[in-house]
Amino acid sequence: MMAAATASFSSGAPKKDMIVRAARPEDLEMPMAGFRNAVTPIENFFVRSHHYMTKVDLNDWQLSIGGEISKPQTLTMADLKKLPKVELVSVLECAGNGRGLYEPTVPGLQWEYGAVGNGRWAGVRLADVLKLCGLKSTAKEILFDGADVPVGKMPEFKRSIPLKKALDPDTILAYEMNGETLPDAHGFPLRVIAPGWAGDSWVKWLIKIEVLDKEFDGFFMKTAYRHPGKNVAPGSVVDPATMSPLTSLRIKSVIASHADGAVLAPGLTRLTGVAWSGESPVAGVDVSTDAGRSWRATVTKTSGGKYGWSQWSFDWKPTKEAYYQLMVRARAASGELQPFVQEWNPSGYAHNAVHTIGVNVTTAAPAAIQKASIAGAPELPGQFRSTCMVCHGTDVMEQQRLNRGQWEKEVDKMVRWGADVKPEYKNQLVDFLNSRWGARPRK
């Protein structure tokens, strides 16, 4: 893993062994060991929040529904629980999962593999809720608004999904996760479950639904969470107007049984991991133990339904002492395959290149682990602290590998969100950010 801190966290449900990408707002990545579970325990389930954690009091909570409908509604939890209860297992993956693996580097939280989890969600069908509302023929998109309050001048987290996805019987409003009351960090008391779609559509702390006659045009639809939908030259600037909102996840798989760099003895060993997909289910998972020259089918079992991840396993018996490149590659029913080389996009979304790890098969004792030196870091300039450490710490900056131009854009973005950067100090600040957390190799 990279230099990110690990810690136990207590925000609603306690978290364990998470990689802290940001302590506040809370962004926690699941460690690789989390992929060994059929269903991800809440204590290991990743958290992605744009704003500070929100604690909703159920006594004050209600869900209001308006817009292109003839019967506006205000529903309590008791009202919702009168509707049929449905349960499904589905992967929840952040669109930015794998952003940290992109070259050239892009700004944003530098997730590696663990901004994903497989949850068991229970609640009511969104279609059943909308049935109460008398949808007008003008209804096209369903807009969700959460109770979280923006940090500084950041826009509210509001997202819309097309009516077709909203009426899908698998699209639900969940009040339970893994058989428990939905935890605070995951959207208590109610969140959207949009199976097969990237996490940004899974709005947490839901308080308001608005039926619209067109796609919502707020920041998190029109600027963020957009993909070119075609290949673009790495590092290029792409106008968001020419991109489209992210929808379906892509076919993806990981090796969970062994860590990159693991040392093992010759003889039988079992490789295991998981594979998941978007709207088209996983059809097969293959493994290579010779850097992609030859491939063999694994044994896979699903963890329930079309949207859950599948667990795969492969018994491998390396006889030669050597360093092996192990790869896993999944295929969706649609025929979609994982690429070997990731195509780049400006925000580093939807990374799904073949997961490759190196393992050393040897009879020699493992070399003593070299501890990274924790020599005292130089002092942070006072101006930097008073401008940039108001809303969050340095954790979000340490993981960036940005050139000066990218840092300048990042500072401009923070100014739009409310950072008080004195114009005469801006250049010095950008220089400092660039010298401290500038462009550099990933490892």
Ligand X SMILES: Nc1nc2c(c(=O)[nH]1)N[C@H]1C(S)=C(S)[C@@H](COP(=O)(O)O)O[C@H]1N2
Beta carbon of residue 177, minimum distance to ligand X (angstroms, whole number): 8
Least Å from the CB of residue 290 to ligand X:
35
Asked if 411 touches ligand HEC (CB under 6 A), the answer is yes
Q: Is 199 in the site for Mo ion (CB under 5 A)?
A: yes
48 binds Mo ion (CB under 5 A): yes
The whole-angstrom separation of Cα 39 and Cα 24 is: 27
Tokens standing for residue 168: 């899908």
Please report how close the Cβ of residue 383 comes to ligand X at its closest, in angstroms: 29
User: Residue 225 Cβ, how far from Mo ion at the closest point, in Å?
Assistant: 8
Stretch that binds ligand HEC, among 97-105, 147-155, 176-184, 205-213 (CB under 6 A): 147-155
Regarding 108 and contact with ligand HEC (CB under 6 A), the answer is yes
Beta carbons of 407 and 396 less than 8 angstroms apart: no
Q: Residue 433 touches which of ligand HEC, Mo ion, ligand X, none (CB < 5 to 8 A by kind)?
A: ligand HEC
Q: What angle do CA 137, 142, 146 make, to 5 degrees?
A: 150
**Do residues 251 and 295 touch, judged by C-beta distance below 8 A?**
no
Neighbours of 258 (CB within 10 A): 21
Single-letter code of the amino acid located at 375: A
What, of ligand X, Mo ion, ligand HEC, none, does residue 151 touch, CB below 5 to 8 Å by kind?
ligand HEC
Q: Of residues 345-404, which lie at the interface with ligand HEC (CB under 6 A)?
A: 387-388, 390-392, 396-397, 400
The count of residues in the chain is 443
- The whole-angstrom separation of Cα 205 and Cα 165 is 20
Q: Build a one-symbol-per-residue string for 195-234: x at contacts with ligand X by CB under 6 A, - elsewhere.
A: ----xx-xxxx-----------------------------
Check: CB of residue 250 under 8 Å from CB of residue 352. yes
Q: According to the binding rule CB under 6 A, does residue 121 interact with ligand X?
A: no
Stretch that binds Mo ion, among 56-64, 194-202, 239-247, 368-376 (CB under 5 A): 194-202
| Residues in 92-111 that interact with ligand X by CB under 6 A | 92, 94
Q: Binding marks (x or -) toward ligand X, 57..96, rule CB under 6 A?
A: -----------------------------------x-x--
Window contacting Mo ion (CB under 5 A); options: 84-92, 192-200, 348-356, 429-437: 192-200
Minimum distance of ligand X from residue 176's CB (angstroms): 13
Q: How far is the CB of 352 from Mo ion (least distance, A)?
A: 15
Beta bridge partners, 210, equal: 66, 143
Strands (E) located in 289-351: 296-297, 299-302, 310-316, 322-332
Q: Rounded to whole angstroms, what are the CA distances from 242 to 230, 239, 245, 389?
A: 11, 6, 10, 34
* Count of other CB atoms within 10 angstroms of residue 70: 8
Strand ranges (E), 184-223: 191-193, 206-212
Please report whether residue 257 would count as binding ligand HEC according to CB under 6 A.
Answer: no
- Cβ proximity of 310 and 285 under 8 Å: yes
With CB under 5 to 8 Å by kind, the binding choice for 92 among ligand HEC, Mo ion, ligand X, none is: ligand X
Q: Could you tell me if 113 and 355 are in contact, meaning their C-beta atoms sit under 8 angstroms apart?
A: yes
Asked whether position 49 contacts ligand X by CB under 6 A, the answer is: yes
Q: Judged by CB under 5 A, which stretch of 1-9, 91-99, 334-342, 375-383 contacts Mo ion?
A: 91-99
Q: Which is nearer to ligand X, 254 or 326 (CB)?
A: 254
Q: Does 189 bind ligand HEC (CB under 6 A)?
A: no
Extended strands (E) in 194-338:
206-212, 226-227, 244-245, 252-255, 263-264, 269-276, 282-288, 296-297, 299-302, 310-316, 322-332
Cis upstream peptide for 266 (omega within 30°): no
* Angle at alpha carbon of residue 191, lines to 86 and 109, rounded to 5°: 130
DSSP for 166-189?
HHSTT-EEEEEETTEEPPGGGTTT
- Which listed range, 44-52, 123-131, 270-278, 411-419, lies at the site for ligand X (CB under 6 A)? 44-52
421 near ligand HEC, rule: CB under 6 A: yes
Q: Does the protein bind ligand HEC through residue 107 (CB under 6 A)? A: yes
CB of 188 to ligand HEC, least distance (A): 20
Interacting residues with Mo ion (CB under 5 A): 48, 94-95, 199-200
Interacting residues with ligand X (CB under 6 A): 45-51, 92, 94, 146, 148, 157, 186, 199-200, 202-205
Interacting residues with ligand HEC (CB under 6 A): 25, 50, 107-108, 151-152, 154, 387-388, 390-392, 396-397, 400, 410-411, 414, 417-419, 421, 433
